[in-house]
Amino acid sequence: MTQPRTARPRTVRSRLERLAREIAKFGAVGAIGFVVNFIVFNICVHGLGLAVVRSGVIATAVAIGTNYIGNRYWTYRHDGDKNRRSRELSLFLLFSGIGLVIENGVLALSHYGLGLTTPLADNIAKNVIGLGLGTVFRFWSYRTWVFRTLPAGTAVVTGDAGVTGDAFAVETAESFLAAAPPPQPQRVDATK
């Protein structure tokens, strides 16, 4: 049996370039989601007269739908097994819900806890601070748990068939550990 080898070696530069592309796409989808979130929030608060946190939750829920479509079919279109879409959607909604709590928790703290109730203060709390914190969490959770598969172009090739998924992860981890420098012994000062 032939030892598995990667189809294309991955350098630090190629990994950083891929991450930069992923962040740019995630940011573009997020920018569209931000516009949707901002418009829906302000229509709910100022047009319909709903409470700020209720409006925030509605706006975030609409933006979550927009962002799922953008991330699934553009940012992470190369990832995922079509048979695992229900798992992916469940995780997306779970982590988006946590992001919703982060985003609207900041709004609730600002509006009700700190008494900052102007439209500008509500928009800054929700759409700048809350959304910023929620976005960092969402990016990490989506790439770590939701859209997690082999990076594009890194299929593992063996003599007869490709090895994917967990076998690739194990091989990658083993090669990373094998390349790591051995731990340096610590000096202990016996006079202390």
Q: For the segment 85-144, what is each residue's pLDDT rounded down to a tens digit? A: 788 888 989 999 999 999 999 999 999 999 999 999 999 999 999 999 999 999 899 888
pLDDT of residue 4: 54
Do 144 and 152 contact (CB within 8 A), yes or no?
no
Q: How many residues does the chain have?
A: 192
pLDDT of residue 160: 37
Q: What is the average pLDDT across 150-167?
A: 42
Say yes or no to pLDDT of 79 above 80: no
C-alpha to C-alpha distance for 50 and 101, rounded to whole angstroms: 18
Say yes or no to pLDDT of 170 above 70: no
